[in-house]
Amino acid sequence: MIKKNVTLFLCIFPFLWLMIFVSSANSVELDEATRTVTFDTSNKTITLTPEQVKRGKRLFNNSCAQCHNGGITKTNPNIGLEPESLSLATPARDNIINLVDYMKDPTSYDGQNSIAELHPSIKSAEIFPKMRNLTDEDLLSMAGYILLQPRVAQDKWGGGKIYY
């Protein structure tokens, strides 16, 4: 009888099963290969600590996810935070150094114009208070989280309204 009730409950509320599964999956630590991301344009890499990944996730969710939930860009769905979009920007934003530079002083996708008054950044911290107290270590953690997400979420990261 109990098994039947549990099965019925999970059939009626499948999202609860998904939440339980996802929560337990998030508690598993990512291996070193997954935590290794490109550091700079010379393809030097850096391996993030589990703490940096957790911190990056928390800071991203607090500071960026309102517009970039799941790696999308709500204001321009053609450009997301997936590797292809990041690599095609000028300068390429597919490494820690360039992504941190972007978070400090963002430019348009072609690199021609400052968009600091439109996009949260350290430069525009007066307009976007969530950016005020972020340190370089915070920015590194957020950039690392963004860069490793395609390995964790795969096609869902930057996949747009199909997934989110």
Q: Which residues are annotated as a binding site for heme c?
A: 64, 67-68, 119
Picking from 83, 123, 87, the residue whose alpha carbon sits closest to that of residue 103 is 123
Residue positions forming the annotated binding site: 64, 67-68, 119
Which SS3 state, helix, strand or coil, does residue 160 take?
helix
Within 8 A by CB and 6+ apart from 45, the residues are: 36, 37, 38, 39
d(CA 111, CA 132): 24
